[in-house]
Structure 1
Amino acid sequence: MKKRKFLTQEEITRLLKASRLGTFPRRDECFIKMCFIHGFRVSELCNLTFSDINLEDCVIHVNRLKNGLKTTHPLIESEIILLRKWLKERQNWRGADAPWIFLSQKGGQLSRQQVYKMLRSYGIKAGISITLSPHMLRHSCGYALANKGADTRLIQDYLGHRNIQHTVLYTSSNPERFIGVWQKGRQ
Protein backbone atom coordinates (compact mmCIF):
# COMPACT_ATOMS: atom_id res chain seq x y z
CA MET A 1 0.00 0.00 0.00
CA LYS A 2 1.32 3.45 -0.92
CA LYS A 3 2.09 5.95 1.80
CA ARG A 4 -0.33 8.87 1.90
CA LYS A 5 1.26 12.02 0.45
CA PHE A 6 -1.09 14.69 1.81
CA LEU A 7 -2.70 15.91 5.01
CA THR A 8 -6.37 16.22 5.76
CA GLN A 9 -7.85 19.59 6.71
CA GLU A 10 -8.07 18.41 10.32
CA GLU A 11 -4.37 17.44 10.29
CA ILE A 12 -3.45 20.85 8.82
CA THR A 13 -5.33 22.47 11.71
CA ARG A 14 -3.45 20.32 14.24
CA LEU A 15 -0.12 21.10 12.54
CA LEU A 16 -0.78 24.84 12.71
CA LYS A 17 -1.76 24.52 16.37
CA ALA A 18 1.47 22.62 17.13
CA SER A 19 3.52 25.33 15.38
CA ARG A 20 2.17 27.90 17.84
CA LEU A 21 3.99 26.03 20.62
CA GLY A 22 7.37 26.03 18.89
CA THR A 23 10.46 28.18 19.38
CA PHE A 24 9.47 30.57 16.56
CA PRO A 25 5.67 30.38 16.54
CA ARG A 26 4.90 33.46 14.42
CA ARG A 27 7.35 32.56 11.68
CA ASP A 28 6.52 28.87 11.63
CA GLU A 29 2.73 29.18 11.68
CA CYS A 30 2.87 31.79 8.92
CA PHE A 31 5.26 29.63 6.86
CA ILE A 32 3.11 26.49 7.18
CA LYS A 33 -0.14 28.33 6.44
CA MET A 34 1.30 30.02 3.33
CA CYS A 35 2.86 26.78 2.12
CA PHE A 36 -0.52 25.05 2.35
CA ILE A 37 -2.72 27.90 1.07
CA HIS A 38 -0.61 28.59 -2.03
CA GLY A 39 0.68 25.08 -2.69
CA PHE A 40 4.27 26.26 -2.52
CA ARG A 41 7.21 24.00 -3.08
CA VAL A 42 9.61 24.44 -0.15
CA SER A 43 12.21 26.29 -2.25
CA GLU A 44 9.57 28.62 -3.68
CA LEU A 45 8.55 29.72 -0.20
CA CYS A 46 12.11 29.90 1.14
CA ASN A 47 12.93 32.19 -1.83
CA LEU A 48 9.88 34.44 -1.25
CA THR A 49 10.90 38.11 -0.98
CA PHE A 50 9.22 41.37 -0.05
CA SER A 51 8.83 42.23 -3.73
CA ASP A 52 6.58 39.14 -4.12
CA ILE A 53 3.98 40.35 -1.60
CA ASN A 54 1.63 43.32 -1.83
CA LEU A 55 -0.26 43.69 1.44
CA GLU A 56 -2.13 46.79 0.23
CA ASP A 57 -3.69 44.88 -2.66
CA CYS A 58 -3.73 41.60 -0.71
CA VAL A 59 -1.90 39.58 -3.37
CA ILE A 60 1.17 37.40 -3.60
CA HIS A 61 3.17 36.78 -6.76
CA VAL A 62 4.04 33.10 -6.92
CA ASN A 63 7.23 32.32 -8.82
CA ARG A 64 7.03 28.61 -9.56
CA LEU A 65 10.08 26.43 -9.97
CA LYS A 66 10.44 23.33 -12.18
CA ASN A 67 9.28 25.30 -15.23
CA GLY A 68 5.92 25.98 -13.55
CA LEU A 69 3.65 28.83 -14.54
CA LYS A 70 4.01 32.03 -12.52
CA THR A 71 0.79 33.34 -11.09
CA THR A 72 -0.71 35.84 -8.67
CA HIS A 73 -2.88 34.61 -5.79
CA PRO A 74 -5.08 36.56 -3.42
CA LEU A 75 -3.99 36.59 0.21
CA ILE A 76 -6.73 35.42 2.56
CA GLU A 77 -7.59 37.37 5.70
CA SER A 78 -6.24 34.85 8.24
CA GLU A 79 -3.00 34.66 6.28
CA ILE A 80 -2.64 38.44 6.18
CA ILE A 81 -3.04 38.58 9.96
CA LEU A 82 -0.30 35.95 10.44
CA LEU A 83 1.93 37.65 7.90
CA ARG A 84 1.61 41.07 9.56
CA LYS A 85 2.40 39.57 12.98
CA TRP A 86 5.45 37.75 11.61
CA LEU A 87 6.73 40.79 9.69
CA LYS A 88 6.43 42.95 12.81
CA GLU A 89 8.40 40.42 14.87
CA ARG A 90 10.88 39.90 12.01
CA GLN A 91 11.99 43.55 12.34
CA ASN A 92 13.77 42.58 15.58
CA TRP A 93 15.54 39.55 14.10
CA ARG A 94 19.15 39.37 13.05
CA GLY A 95 19.20 39.87 9.28
CA ALA A 96 16.03 42.00 9.33
CA ASP A 97 17.29 43.87 6.26
CA ALA A 98 17.51 40.63 4.20
CA PRO A 99 15.13 40.39 1.23
CA TRP A 100 13.56 37.04 2.18
CA ILE A 101 10.29 36.92 4.06
CA PHE A 102 11.29 33.90 6.16
CA LEU A 103 14.56 34.06 8.05
CA SER A 104 16.55 31.47 9.94
CA GLN A 105 17.47 32.03 13.58
CA LYS A 106 20.87 33.31 12.39
CA GLY A 107 19.25 35.90 10.11
CA GLY A 108 19.86 34.18 6.79
CA GLN A 109 17.48 32.60 4.32
CA LEU A 110 15.49 29.72 5.81
CA SER A 111 16.81 26.50 4.26
CA ARG A 112 14.98 23.47 2.92
CA GLN A 113 16.66 21.30 5.58
CA GLN A 114 15.43 23.57 8.37
CA VAL A 115 11.89 23.36 6.98
CA TYR A 116 12.01 19.54 6.77
CA LYS A 117 13.18 19.38 10.39
CA MET A 118 10.55 21.90 11.50
CA LEU A 119 7.67 20.03 9.83
CA ARG A 120 8.74 16.63 11.11
CA SER A 121 8.93 18.00 14.64
CA TYR A 122 5.52 19.69 14.44
CA GLY A 123 4.01 16.59 12.84
CA ILE A 124 5.08 14.53 15.84
CA LYS A 125 3.80 17.19 18.28
CA ALA A 126 0.49 17.29 16.39
CA GLY A 127 0.11 13.50 16.64
CA ILE A 128 0.12 13.02 12.87
CA SER A 129 0.84 9.36 12.12
CA ILE A 130 2.82 9.88 8.90
CA THR A 131 6.24 11.48 8.48
CA LEU A 132 5.77 14.98 7.13
CA SER A 133 7.59 16.65 4.28
CA PRO A 134 7.04 20.16 2.89
CA HIS A 135 5.79 18.78 -0.42
CA MET A 136 2.89 17.16 1.44
CA LEU A 137 1.54 20.66 2.07
CA ARG A 138 1.54 21.30 -1.70
CA HIS A 139 -0.38 18.06 -2.29
CA SER A 140 -2.71 18.94 0.59
CA CYS A 141 -3.50 22.21 -1.15
CA GLY A 142 -4.43 20.40 -4.38
CA TYR A 143 -6.67 17.90 -2.57
CA ALA A 144 -8.29 20.64 -0.46
CA LEU A 145 -9.11 22.67 -3.60
CA ALA A 146 -10.61 19.57 -5.25
CA ASN A 147 -12.66 18.84 -2.13
CA LYS A 148 -13.99 22.41 -2.25
CA GLY A 149 -15.23 21.75 -5.79
CA ALA A 150 -12.50 23.52 -7.79
CA ASP A 151 -12.22 22.08 -11.28
CA THR A 152 -9.06 20.51 -12.64
CA ARG A 153 -8.09 23.50 -14.82
CA LEU A 154 -8.36 25.94 -11.91
CA ILE A 155 -6.20 23.68 -9.73
CA GLN A 156 -3.74 23.33 -12.60
CA ASP A 157 -3.40 27.12 -12.89
CA TYR A 158 -3.31 27.63 -9.12
CA LEU A 159 -0.46 25.15 -8.63
CA GLY A 160 1.34 26.30 -11.79
CA HIS A 161 1.28 22.92 -13.54
CA ARG A 162 2.07 23.09 -17.25
CA ASN A 163 0.83 19.53 -17.78
CA ILE A 164 -2.69 18.73 -16.58
CA GLN A 165 -1.65 15.13 -15.93
CA HIS A 166 0.12 16.43 -12.83
CA THR A 167 -3.19 17.85 -11.61
CA VAL A 168 -5.75 15.11 -12.27
CA LEU A 169 -4.66 13.05 -9.25
CA TYR A 170 -6.32 15.64 -7.00
CA THR A 171 -9.72 15.57 -8.67
CA SER A 172 -9.73 11.87 -9.61
CA SER A 173 -9.53 10.78 -5.97
CA ASN A 174 -12.24 13.14 -4.74
CA PRO A 175 -15.24 10.97 -3.76
CA GLU A 176 -17.50 14.05 -3.64
CA ARG A 177 -17.59 14.10 -7.44
CA PHE A 178 -19.63 10.87 -7.42
CA ILE A 179 -22.40 12.15 -5.14
CA GLY A 180 -25.68 11.97 -6.99
CA VAL A 181 -24.50 9.52 -9.66
CA TRP A 182 -27.21 7.01 -8.67
CA GLN A 183 -29.91 9.59 -8.00
CA LYS A 184 -33.27 9.36 -9.74
CA GLY A 185 -33.03 10.28 -13.41
CA ARG A 186 -29.47 9.02 -13.74
CA GLN A 187 -30.17 5.29 -13.84
Structure 2
Amino acid sequence: MFPIDNLIQDYLHYLTVERGLSANTVVSYQNDLTQFVKFLQKNDVNSFTVVERSDITNYLAEETAQKKANSSIIRSVTSLRRFFLYLSQEKVITNNPMTLIDTPKQQEHLPEVLSRQEVEQLLKTPNVSQPLGLRDRAILELMYATGLRVSEVINLHLADLHLTMGLIQTIGKGQKERLVPIGDTAAQWINSYLERSRPKLLKEKRSSFLFLNFHGNQLTRQGVWKNLKQQVRKAGITKNITPHTLRHSFATHILENGADLRIVQELLGHADISTTQIYTHLSKRRLSSIYEKTHPRA
Protein backbone atom coordinates (compact mmCIF):
# COMPACT_ATOMS: atom_id res chain seq x y z
CA MET A 1 0.00 0.00 0.00
CA PHE A 2 1.27 3.46 -0.82
CA PRO A 3 2.21 4.99 2.61
CA ILE A 4 0.03 8.07 2.21
CA ASP A 5 -3.13 6.05 1.52
CA ASN A 6 -3.87 6.01 5.26
CA LEU A 7 -4.13 9.80 5.29
CA ILE A 8 -6.60 9.70 2.41
CA GLN A 9 -8.73 7.13 4.23
CA ASP A 10 -8.69 9.31 7.37
CA TYR A 11 -9.76 12.29 5.26
CA LEU A 12 -12.60 10.37 3.59
CA HIS A 13 -13.78 9.23 7.02
CA TYR A 14 -13.73 12.88 8.15
CA LEU A 15 -15.81 13.92 5.13
CA THR A 16 -18.38 11.20 5.82
CA VAL A 17 -18.68 11.38 9.60
CA GLU A 18 -17.86 15.00 10.50
CA ARG A 19 -18.84 16.85 7.34
CA GLY A 20 -21.80 14.60 6.54
CA LEU A 21 -21.13 14.58 2.79
CA SER A 22 -23.02 12.17 0.55
CA ALA A 23 -21.47 8.88 -0.55
CA ASN A 24 -21.28 10.11 -4.16
CA THR A 25 -19.40 13.27 -3.15
CA VAL A 26 -16.94 11.30 -1.02
CA VAL A 27 -16.28 8.89 -3.91
CA SER A 28 -15.63 11.89 -6.16
CA TYR A 29 -13.00 13.20 -3.73
CA GLN A 30 -11.49 9.74 -3.46
CA ASN A 31 -11.16 9.43 -7.25
CA ASP A 32 -9.47 12.83 -7.56
CA LEU A 33 -7.00 12.08 -4.77
CA THR A 34 -6.27 8.60 -6.16
CA GLN A 35 -5.32 10.12 -9.51
CA PHE A 36 -3.05 12.62 -7.76
CA VAL A 37 -1.36 9.84 -5.74
CA LYS A 38 -0.66 7.91 -8.96
CA PHE A 39 1.05 11.03 -10.33
CA LEU A 40 3.14 11.34 -7.15
CA GLN A 41 4.10 7.66 -7.33
CA LYS A 42 5.23 8.08 -10.91
CA ASN A 43 7.45 10.98 -9.82
CA ASP A 44 8.89 9.19 -6.76
CA VAL A 45 7.11 11.39 -4.20
CA ASN A 46 6.11 9.21 -1.25
CA SER A 47 4.89 11.71 1.33
CA PHE A 48 2.46 14.62 1.35
CA THR A 49 4.90 16.51 3.59
CA VAL A 50 7.32 17.02 0.68
CA VAL A 51 4.74 17.96 -1.98
CA GLU A 52 5.56 21.38 -3.40
CA ARG A 53 3.69 23.90 -5.51
CA SER A 54 5.63 22.69 -8.58
CA ASP A 55 4.25 19.16 -8.06
CA ILE A 56 0.73 20.57 -8.15
CA THR A 57 1.31 22.70 -11.25
CA ASN A 58 3.00 19.78 -13.06
CA TYR A 59 0.05 17.54 -12.19
CA LEU A 60 -2.47 20.08 -13.48
CA ALA A 61 -0.38 20.58 -16.63
CA GLU A 62 -0.50 16.83 -17.23
CA GLU A 63 -4.26 16.84 -16.72
CA THR A 64 -4.56 19.62 -19.30
CA ALA A 65 -2.25 17.82 -21.76
CA GLN A 66 -4.50 14.76 -21.49
CA LYS A 67 -7.35 17.01 -22.64
CA LYS A 68 -9.33 16.55 -19.43
CA ALA A 69 -12.51 18.64 -19.31
CA ASN A 70 -12.16 22.07 -17.75
CA SER A 71 -14.79 21.11 -15.17
CA SER A 72 -12.76 18.01 -14.19
CA ILE A 73 -9.61 20.08 -13.67
CA ILE A 74 -11.52 22.61 -11.58
CA ARG A 75 -12.88 19.75 -9.46
CA SER A 76 -9.35 18.35 -9.05
CA VAL A 77 -8.08 21.72 -7.82
CA THR A 78 -10.98 21.98 -5.37
CA SER A 79 -10.38 18.43 -4.09
CA LEU A 80 -6.65 19.05 -3.60
CA ARG A 81 -7.25 22.45 -1.99
CA ARG A 82 -9.63 21.01 0.61
CA PHE A 83 -7.45 17.96 1.23
CA PHE A 84 -4.27 19.95 1.85
CA LEU A 85 -6.20 22.37 4.06
CA TYR A 86 -7.28 19.34 6.11
CA LEU A 87 -3.66 18.11 6.33
CA SER A 88 -2.60 21.59 7.45
CA GLN A 89 -5.29 21.74 10.14
CA GLU A 90 -4.29 18.27 11.34
CA LYS A 91 -0.62 19.42 11.56
CA VAL A 92 0.44 16.76 9.06
CA ILE A 93 2.08 19.42 6.87
CA THR A 94 3.64 22.76 7.77
CA ASN A 95 3.48 24.35 4.30
CA ASN A 96 0.35 24.14 2.18
CA PRO A 97 1.38 23.75 -1.51
CA MET A 98 -2.11 24.85 -2.66
CA THR A 99 -1.81 28.35 -1.16
CA LEU A 100 -0.70 30.02 -4.39
CA ILE A 101 -2.59 27.76 -6.81
CA ASP A 102 -5.40 29.55 -8.65
CA THR A 103 -8.58 27.74 -9.59
CA PRO A 104 -9.09 27.71 -13.39
CA LYS A 105 -12.01 29.79 -14.57
CA GLN A 106 -15.20 27.86 -15.20
CA GLN A 107 -16.21 27.85 -18.84
CA GLU A 108 -19.74 29.15 -19.16
CA HIS A 109 -21.98 26.20 -19.84
CA LEU A 110 -25.73 26.42 -19.60
CA PRO A 111 -27.43 23.08 -18.97
CA GLU A 112 -29.85 21.57 -21.44
CA VAL A 113 -33.51 22.29 -20.70
CA LEU A 114 -36.66 20.73 -22.09
CA SER A 115 -39.41 22.91 -23.49
CA ARG A 116 -42.84 22.49 -21.94
CA GLN A 117 -44.00 20.65 -25.05
CA GLU A 118 -41.04 18.26 -24.80
CA VAL A 119 -41.83 17.65 -21.13
CA GLU A 120 -45.39 16.70 -22.09
CA GLN A 121 -44.08 14.36 -24.81
CA LEU A 122 -41.74 12.69 -22.33
CA LEU A 123 -44.36 12.31 -19.59
CA LYS A 124 -46.73 10.52 -21.96
CA THR A 125 -44.10 8.00 -23.11
CA PRO A 126 -44.30 5.24 -20.43
CA ASN A 127 -46.93 2.55 -20.91
CA VAL A 128 -48.95 3.10 -17.75
CA SER A 129 -50.95 -0.11 -18.25
CA GLN A 130 -47.83 -1.99 -17.16
CA PRO A 131 -46.41 -1.91 -13.59
CA LEU A 132 -42.98 -0.64 -14.70
CA GLY A 133 -44.50 1.92 -17.04
CA LEU A 134 -46.73 3.27 -14.28
CA ARG A 135 -43.71 3.46 -11.98
CA ASP A 136 -41.72 5.36 -14.62
CA ARG A 137 -44.58 7.82 -15.21
CA ALA A 138 -44.74 8.47 -11.45
CA ILE A 139 -40.98 9.06 -11.34
CA LEU A 140 -41.03 11.50 -14.28
CA GLU A 141 -44.01 13.39 -12.87
CA LEU A 142 -42.33 13.58 -9.46
CA MET A 143 -38.97 14.81 -10.80
CA TYR A 144 -40.55 17.50 -12.95
CA ALA A 145 -42.96 18.57 -10.19
CA THR A 146 -40.33 18.84 -7.45
CA GLY A 147 -36.88 19.25 -9.02
CA LEU A 148 -35.52 16.41 -6.88
CA ARG A 149 -32.10 15.00 -7.72
CA VAL A 150 -32.10 11.40 -8.97
CA SER A 151 -30.25 10.33 -5.80
CA GLU A 152 -33.01 11.90 -3.72
CA VAL A 153 -35.71 10.15 -5.76
CA ILE A 154 -34.29 6.64 -5.41
CA ASN A 155 -33.72 7.12 -1.66
CA LEU A 156 -37.30 8.17 -0.92
CA HIS A 157 -39.06 6.01 1.66
CA LEU A 158 -42.81 5.54 2.06
CA ALA A 159 -42.59 7.49 5.33
CA ASP A 160 -41.24 10.51 3.38
CA LEU A 161 -44.57 10.95 1.58
CA HIS A 162 -47.04 13.46 3.00
CA LEU A 163 -49.27 13.60 -0.04
CA THR A 164 -52.42 14.72 1.79
CA MET A 165 -50.46 17.84 2.79
CA GLY A 166 -48.92 18.12 -0.68
CA LEU A 167 -45.36 17.63 0.64
CA ILE A 168 -42.42 15.26 0.27
CA GLN A 169 -39.59 15.00 2.78
CA THR A 170 -36.10 14.44 1.37
CA ILE A 171 -32.46 14.49 2.41
CA GLY A 172 -30.17 16.28 -0.03
CA LYS A 173 -26.48 17.10 -0.22
CA GLY A 174 -24.69 17.43 3.10
CA GLN A 175 -27.46 15.36 4.72
CA LYS A 176 -29.69 18.45 4.77
CA GLU A 177 -33.37 17.67 5.16
CA ARG A 178 -36.01 19.71 3.37
CA LEU A 179 -39.73 19.61 2.63
CA VAL A 180 -40.69 20.00 -1.02
CA PRO A 181 -44.21 20.76 -2.25
CA ILE A 182 -45.65 18.41 -4.84
CA GLY A 183 -48.52 19.28 -7.16
CA ASP A 184 -51.80 17.40 -7.40
CA THR A 185 -50.95 15.76 -10.73
CA ALA A 186 -47.68 14.21 -9.52
CA ALA A 187 -49.34 13.16 -6.25
CA GLN A 188 -52.12 11.40 -8.19
CA TRP A 189 -49.59 9.45 -10.28
CA ILE A 190 -47.68 8.42 -7.16
CA ASN A 191 -50.91 7.23 -5.55
CA SER A 192 -51.73 5.24 -8.70
CA TYR A 193 -48.27 3.67 -8.59
CA LEU A 194 -48.70 2.82 -4.88
CA GLU A 195 -52.10 1.20 -5.48
CA ARG A 196 -51.64 -0.58 -8.82
CA SER A 197 -47.94 -1.06 -9.47
CA ARG A 198 -45.79 -1.20 -6.34
CA PRO A 199 -47.57 -4.27 -4.80
CA LYS A 200 -46.91 -6.21 -8.03
CA LEU A 201 -43.22 -5.23 -8.03
CA LEU A 202 -42.85 -5.98 -4.32
CA LYS A 203 -44.30 -9.50 -4.68
CA GLU A 204 -43.59 -11.33 -1.40
CA LYS A 205 -40.81 -8.99 -0.28
CA ARG A 206 -40.84 -6.11 2.18
CA SER A 207 -39.23 -2.74 1.49
CA SER A 208 -39.57 0.79 2.82
CA PHE A 209 -38.26 2.35 -0.40
CA LEU A 210 -40.82 4.09 -2.58
CA PHE A 211 -39.54 3.13 -6.02
CA LEU A 212 -38.70 -0.51 -6.74
CA ASN A 213 -37.21 -2.40 -9.65
CA PHE A 214 -38.62 -5.52 -11.34
CA HIS A 215 -37.19 -7.72 -8.57
CA GLY A 216 -38.80 -5.73 -5.78
CA ASN A 217 -35.54 -4.11 -4.68
CA GLN A 218 -34.61 -0.43 -4.43
CA LEU A 219 -34.37 1.20 -7.85
CA THR A 220 -30.83 2.39 -8.65
CA ARG A 221 -29.47 5.57 -10.27
CA GLN A 222 -28.33 3.46 -13.21
CA GLY A 223 -31.83 2.05 -13.56
CA VAL A 224 -33.36 5.54 -13.75
CA TRP A 225 -30.75 6.62 -16.33
CA LYS A 226 -31.29 3.54 -18.51
CA ASN A 227 -35.08 3.89 -18.46
CA LEU A 228 -34.92 7.63 -19.19
CA LYS A 229 -32.72 7.08 -22.24
CA GLN A 230 -35.31 4.71 -23.67
CA GLN A 231 -38.15 7.12 -22.92
CA VAL A 232 -36.34 10.09 -24.49
CA ARG A 233 -35.67 8.06 -27.65
CA LYS A 234 -39.30 6.91 -27.78
CA ALA A 235 -40.51 10.51 -27.35
CA GLY A 236 -38.42 11.57 -30.36
CA ILE A 237 -36.40 14.11 -28.33
CA THR A 238 -32.92 14.65 -29.79
CA LYS A 239 -31.43 16.70 -26.95
CA ASN A 240 -28.80 15.20 -24.63
CA ILE A 241 -31.11 14.41 -21.70
CA THR A 242 -30.15 13.14 -18.24
CA PRO A 243 -32.26 12.84 -15.07
CA HIS A 244 -30.81 16.21 -14.02
CA THR A 245 -32.40 17.78 -17.11
CA LEU A 246 -35.81 17.46 -15.46
CA ARG A 247 -34.43 19.34 -12.43
CA HIS A 248 -33.10 22.08 -14.71
CA SER A 249 -36.42 22.23 -16.56
CA PHE A 250 -38.39 22.44 -13.29
CA ALA A 251 -36.31 25.39 -12.05
CA THR A 252 -36.33 27.23 -15.39
CA HIS A 253 -40.07 26.88 -15.95
CA ILE A 254 -41.12 28.09 -12.49
CA LEU A 255 -38.75 31.07 -12.79
CA GLU A 256 -40.30 31.91 -16.16
CA ASN A 257 -43.70 31.85 -14.44
CA GLY A 258 -42.59 34.44 -11.88
CA ALA A 259 -41.17 32.42 -8.97
CA ASP A 260 -38.72 34.26 -6.70
CA LEU A 261 -35.09 33.13 -6.96
CA ARG A 262 -34.87 32.56 -3.19
CA ILE A 263 -37.88 30.25 -3.35
CA VAL A 264 -36.25 28.27 -6.16
CA GLN A 265 -33.08 28.03 -4.06
CA GLU A 266 -35.08 26.53 -1.19
CA LEU A 267 -36.93 24.11 -3.45
CA LEU A 268 -33.71 22.85 -5.04
CA GLY A 269 -31.85 22.63 -1.74
CA HIS A 270 -28.96 24.85 -2.89
CA ALA A 271 -26.71 26.04 -0.06
CA ASP A 272 -25.57 29.07 -2.10
CA ILE A 273 -27.90 31.20 -4.22
CA SER A 274 -25.12 31.68 -6.79
CA THR A 275 -25.74 28.05 -7.81
CA THR A 276 -29.40 28.86 -8.43
CA GLN A 277 -28.64 31.99 -10.48
CA ILE A 278 -27.70 29.93 -13.53
CA TYR A 279 -31.43 29.43 -14.08
CA THR A 280 -31.94 33.17 -14.51
CA HIS A 281 -29.50 32.95 -17.44
CA LEU A 282 -31.52 30.08 -18.88
CA SER A 283 -34.73 32.10 -18.58
CA LYS A 284 -33.13 35.11 -20.29
CA ARG A 285 -31.78 32.90 -23.07
CA ARG A 286 -35.26 31.48 -23.64
CA LEU A 287 -36.83 34.95 -23.65
CA SER A 288 -34.27 36.09 -26.23
CA SER A 289 -35.02 33.05 -28.36
CA ILE A 290 -38.78 33.74 -28.25
CA TYR A 291 -38.17 37.40 -29.08
CA GLU A 292 -36.04 36.54 -32.11
CA LYS A 293 -38.67 34.13 -33.40
CA THR A 294 -41.67 36.38 -32.87
CA HIS A 295 -40.65 40.03 -33.30
CA PRO A 296 -40.82 41.23 -36.92
CA ARG A 297 -37.70 43.42 -36.49
CA ALA A 298 -35.62 40.93 -34.48
Seen in structure 2, the aligned counterparts of structure 1 residues 118 and 13 have a Cα distance that, compared at 3 Å, is same
1:13 aligns with 2:155: no
For residue 157 of structure 1, what is the aligned residue in structure 2? 266
Q: Tell me the equivalent position of 1:63.
A: 171
Partner of 1:93: 201
Aligned pairs for 1:167-186 within 5 A: 167-175=276-284
- What CA distance in whole angstroms lies between the structure 1 residues aligned with 2:128 and 2:251? 27
- 1:120: which partner in 2? 229
Which structure's residues are more often helix, by fraction? 2
1:5-43 deviation digits (Å, cap 9, x = unpaired): 221111111001112369522100000111111111111
Which one has a bigger Cα radius of gyration? 2
Cα contact 2:150–2:243 (8 A) shared by 1: yes
5+ residue gaps in structure 2?
Answer: 1-107, 289-298
- Structure 1: state its 5+ residue gaps: 179-187
Q: What is the CA–CA distance in structure 2 between the aligned matches of 1:126 and 1:85, rounded to whole Å? A: 22
Q: CA deviation at 1:93?
A: 2.1
Deviation at residue 147 of structure 1 after TM alignment: 1.0
Q: SS of the residue aligned with 1:92?
A: helix
Q: Partner of 1:131 in structure 2?
A: 240
CA shift, 1:4, in A, is 4.9
Q: Which residue of 2 aligns with 1:39?
A: 147
Within the candidate set 166, 175, 179, 1:72 is matched to: 179
Is the counterpart of residue 28 in structure 1 residue 147 in structure 2? Answer: no
User: Which residue number corresponds to residue 181 of structure 1?
Assistant: none
In 2, the alpha carbon distance for the partners of 1:67 and 1:2 equals 25
May I ask how many residue pairs the two structures share in their alignment?
177
**How many angstroms does 1:3 deviate by?**
7.7
Which region of structure 1 is more displaced relative to structure 2, 1-10 or 21-30? Answer: 1-10
What corresponds to 1:51 in structure 2?
Answer: 159
Whole-angstrom distance in 2 between the partners of 1:92 and 1:106: 10
What is the rounded CA distance, in whole Å, between the counterparts of 1:152 and 1:27 in structure 2? Answer: 31
